[in-house]
């Protein structure tokens, strides 16, 4: 009898221990699962607050330029190039990097020395803007670091045939963006304006007869002006809930005065770009 009682107690103890261990394992598994789900929820919430895109596509347009160190004539032509960038936008911030390059063959009206003039242009921008809450959070203000390289080559005018400008600086900017719908698809409509506040400029050659020399100078808006206006629409693809396409127009204009205005460089670009927006987070 006593033997049977001890066997019953032993079986009860073993069963109780196994049950407690099973509950403990389930509790540990549930705890780990809660941590994983919590981390996943945070990542989803962060992804919903931030939209990150890689942007790329071809560009085309027209350019008009005058560099009185090379020639008093005004030259113009069509250009082709490309565009690449990164964009991050959230409820409060908008930041971006934009890089563009283009090349053009220019000519002047009613002038013999019109062949062999090439214009090459590359620009970069990095801007950060804070959304202000104005117009239902459609207005953002900020600033950007920017710079470009403008290279003009003219094989027909001897020792004035090479000129290059390399400005860089900081520019205040303002951006408007409106979320709309066109053909039942979400669309971003935007406009952006910037104007240089302070710039440093490398200019070569310093004189027409010296092709191996250059000079660096600081420049305020009274000497150097760089204006840029961007307009565009970015609809979402019909077959995608994330990726988009962009149709953009940009006016990029700069002017540099030297030697109290005796020399002047003016360049105006009308740029059209068609881009693919690939969301990567």
Model confidence at 227, in pLDDT bands (50, 70, 90)?
A: very high
Listed residue (232, 274, 266, 277) closest to 60, CA to CA? 274
pLDDT of residue 70 exceeding 60, the answer is yes
- Are 88 and 118 in the same domain? yes
Model confidence at 280, in pLDDT bands (50, 70, 90)?
A: confident
| Domain termination site, one of 26, 49, 72 | 49
Percent of the residues in the chain that have a pLDDT greater than 90, as a whole number:
42
Structural domain range at position 41: 1-49
Please, what is the Cα angle at 145 between 142 and 150, to 5 degrees? 135
Q: How many angstroms separate the CA atoms of 170 and 181, rounded?
A: 35
Q: How many angstroms separate the CA atoms of 162 and 68, rounded?
A: 12
Per the model's pLDDT, the better-predicted residue between 182 and 126 turns out to be 126
- Are 154 and 252 in the same domain? yes
Q: How many angstroms separate the CA atoms of 261 and 242, rounded?
A: 51
Quote the pLDDT of residue 41: 54
**CATH number of the domain residue 126 falls in:** 2.40.128.100
What's phi and psi for 28, nearest 5 deg? Answer: -65, -45
Is residue 108 within 8 Å of 95, Cβ to Cβ? Answer: no
Which of 4-18, 65-79, 96-110 has the lowest average pLDDT?
Answer: 4-18
Total structural domains within the chain: 2
Q: How many angstroms separate the CA atoms of 83 and 190, rounded?
A: 18
Model confidence at 242, in pLDDT bands (50, 70, 90)?
A: confident
Encoding tokens for residue 17?
Answer: 């221990």
Q: How many angstroms separate the CA atoms of 246 and 145, rounded?
A: 23
- Are 88 and 73 in the same domain? yes
- Are 170 and 207 in the same domain? yes
pTM given for the model: 0.77
- Are 1 and 88 in the same domain? no
pLDDT in tens, 168-222: 999 999 999 998 988 888 899 999 999 999 899 888 765 554 445 567 778 778 8
- Are 71 and 107 in the same domain? yes
- Are 218 and 237 in the same domain? yes
- Are 36 and 164 in the same domain? no
Percent of the residues in the chain that have a pLDDT greater than 70, as a whole number:
72
Quote the pLDDT of residue 115: 59
pLDDT in tens, 5-26: 545 545 555 454 555 555 555 4
- Are 2 and 84 in the same domain? no
- Are 112 and 3 in the same domain? no
Quote the pLDDT of residue 146: 95
List all residues 6 or more positions away from 159 whose beta carbon is below 8 Å from its beta carbon: 208, 209, 211
Quote the pLDDT of residue 241: 80
- Are 200 and 64 in the same domain? yes
DSSP string, the chain: -HHHHHHHHHHHHHHHHHHHHHHHHHHHHHHHHHHHHHHHHHHHHHHHH-EEEEEEEEEEEEEEEEETTT-SS-EEEEEEEEEEEEEEE-SSEEEEEEEEEEEEEEB-TT-STTTTEEEEEEEEEEEEEEE--HHHHTEEEEEEEEEEEEEEEETTSGGG-EEEEEEEEEEEEEEEEEEEEETTEEEEEEEEEEE-SEEEEEEE-SBTTBTT--EEEEE-TTTEEEEEEEEEEEEBPTT-SS-EEEEEEEEEEEEEEETTTTEEEEEEEEEEEEEEEEE--
Per the model's pLDDT, the better-predicted residue between 14 and 60 turns out to be 60
pLDDT of residue 142 exceeding 90, the answer is yes
Separation of first and last alpha carbons in the chain: 72
Strand 117-131 and strand 215-219: the pairing is unpaired
Per the model's pLDDT, the better-predicted residue between 270 and 240 turns out to be 270
Quote the pLDDT of residue 9: 46
Quote the pLDDT of residue 215: 73
pLDDT of residue 101 exceeding 60, the answer is yes
Quote the pLDDT of residue 159: 56
Quote the pLDDT of residue 211: 47
pLDDT of residue 230 exceeding 90, the answer is yes
């Amino acid at each position: 009898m006593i033997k049977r009682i001890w066997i019953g107690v032993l079986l009860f103890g073993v069963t109780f221990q196994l049950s407690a261990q099973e509950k403990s394992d389930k509790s540990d598994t549930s705890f780990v699962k809660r941590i994983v789900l919590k981390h996943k929820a945070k990542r989803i919430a962060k992804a919903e607050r931030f939209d990150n895109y890689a942007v790329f596509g071809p560009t085309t347009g027209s350019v008009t330029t005058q560099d009185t160190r090379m020639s008093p004539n005004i030259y113009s032509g069509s250009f082709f190039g490309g565009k690449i960038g990164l964009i991050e936008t959230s409820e409060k911030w908008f930041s971006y990097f934009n890089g563009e390059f283009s090349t053009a063959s220019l000519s002047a009206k009613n002038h013999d020395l019109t062949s062999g003039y090439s214009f090459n242009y590359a620009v970069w921008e990095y801007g950060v803007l804070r959304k202000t809450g104005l117009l239902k959070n459609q207005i953002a203000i900020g600033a950007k670091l920017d710079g470009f390289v403008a290279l003009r080559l003219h094989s027909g005018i001897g020792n004035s045939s090479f000129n290059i400008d390399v400005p860089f600086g900081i520019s205040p900017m303002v951006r408007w963006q409106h979320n709309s719908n066109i053909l039942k698809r979400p669309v971003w409509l935007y406009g952006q304006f910037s104007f240089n506040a302070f710039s440093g400029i490398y200019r070569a050659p310093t004189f027409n007869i010296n092709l191996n020399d250059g000079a660096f100078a600081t420049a305020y808006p009274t000497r150097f002006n760089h204006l840029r206006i961007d307009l565009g629409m970015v609809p979402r693809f019909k077959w995608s809930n994330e990726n988009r396409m962009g149709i953009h127009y940009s006016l990029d204009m700069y002017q540099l005065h030297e030697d109290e205005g005796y020399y002047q460089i003016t360049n105006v670009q009308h740029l059209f770009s068609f881009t693919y927006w690939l969301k990567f987070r």
